[in-house]
Amino acid sequence: MRPRYASNWAAFLQYALVGRHTMVYNATVESPPMKAHNTPLVIKISQQVHTRPKEQNLLRIAQKVGVKGLPELCYFGDLWSLDDGFRRLFFEEEQMNYEKRILRALIYTKYKHLGTLFSKSSEYLGEMIYQMLECKQPISDLRFKAQILHRDISYNNFMVQRRGADEAPLFILNDFDLATRVTPNGEPVAGPSSKHRTGTLPFMARDVLYGLWWAFEKIEEEEEDDDDDDDDEEEEEEKQEVLPVPYHLVRFDYESLLYVALWCGFKCEEQSARHAGVRQQVVAWECGSYDELLHNKRGLFLYTSGSKSLSCFPLSRRFRRWRSFFQAWIDTVQPPASDDLGESVNQYWDLEKILSALREADPNKPKSKERPGGKSS
């Protein structure tokens, strides 16, 4: 017998002309056997491209190899094809512009949002990073054990499960809509499964923004350029241009996690969120051309002072003690200017080096006691 669920109010609605139109509703179980009566759940309904890997299948693969920090999936099902009915008229006429989509429902255990934790305290910010990056945790083991890239590491895709009063919370990596399988070498198993960009704009890695600029803005800029340069000079410039990385890499997810942590540091505290500097920072990460967004992100890595540097980042009062923690992360992964983009950057995003630097700069790290003779314990 299938369980019956009762939904009361929407927790999240996505308004857009294109895309998945994701809707999330709060729900409870009305009839067993899947969960106890009145267990808090959420029902996620979205319009998925039919060629994209199913979220439930990716979760099953990850759980099979022991990846932790994943959401508990209670039930799933495909409701109907959105090409059946009125929308089919458009799909048949313009197949290049319309993607075949399936209305899919998934039911998960309900978790708390990051804001419920970090609006009150910054204590567990480091714990969130360690849980995501360490062995047997989502981002790391998804890639190296399950051979899956999440590709949408963003603020709204992290959830919190509170355990005992004296225990650290468990952080959950949610929403595998854009996740994909990769080979052991990190190359995509299949070609693109959607016509739209990958990720959430404020948290996109610099390489992803660079690729979007290259694909959508660079050509327009070249067409508008009326300079009559010498042909030889143009050829020389083309040789010096850095090509975008052709596919998503795990270091992009590591970099997105940095932006999520910074976002928590300036956006979660209620009073801080109304500050003019915070509003300006939000605009710098999610408004403007891809070229402008890329320039703003690069400032964090290239400048030690000035408006785009970490020293001027509008961290809220509770999170200011984490500034050295963020700086240690940035210093560890920042390559020489000559390697700013390209494959050579991979070596700087070494996971062990990042974790070592973060633990050393963690403001929650127990301070060593100095013993007689100037030695510390």
pLDDT digits (tens, 9 = 90+) for 345-364: 677 788 999 999 999 999 99
pLDDT score of 156 more than 90: yes
Tokens 């759980």 — which residue?
63
SS3 263: helix
Q: How confident is the model at residue 307 (pLDDT cuts 50, 70, 90)?
A: confident
> Nearest CA to 134 among 366, 361, 355?
355
Please indicate whether residue 95 or residue 248 has the higher confidence score (pLDDT). Answer: 248
Q: What is the β-pairing status of strands 158-161 and 170-173? A: antiparallel
pLDDT score of 34 more than 90: no
Other beta carbons less than 10 A from residue 215's beta carbon: 12
Q: Residue 328: what pLDDT?
A: 96
pLDDT score of 274 more than 60: yes
Q: How confident is the model at residue 229 (pLDDT cuts 50, 70, 90)?
A: low
Peptide bond into 33 cis (omega under 30): yes
Looking at the DSSP bridge assignments, the partners of residue 102 are: 48, 81
The HSE-up count of residue 101 (CA atoms within 13 Å, CB side) is: 23
The pTM score is 0.85
- Interior angle at CA 118, CA 260 and CA 74, nearest 5: 75
CATH of domain 19-84+99-110: 3.30.200
Instruction: Report which DSSP code applies to 310.
Output: G
For residue 134 the two structure tokens come to: 């360490």
- Which of 256-265, 269-278, 307-316 bottoms out in mean pLDDT, i.e. has the lowest? 269-278
CA 100 to chain centre: 25
Distance CA 90, CA 96 (A): 10
Give start-end residues of each CATH 3.30.200 domain in the chain: 19-84+99-110
Q: 149: exposed, middle or buried (C-beta count within 10 Å: 0-12, 13-18, 19+)?
A: buried
Please indicate whether residue 230 or residue 319 has the higher confidence score (pLDDT). Answer: 319
pLDDT score of 98 more than 60: yes
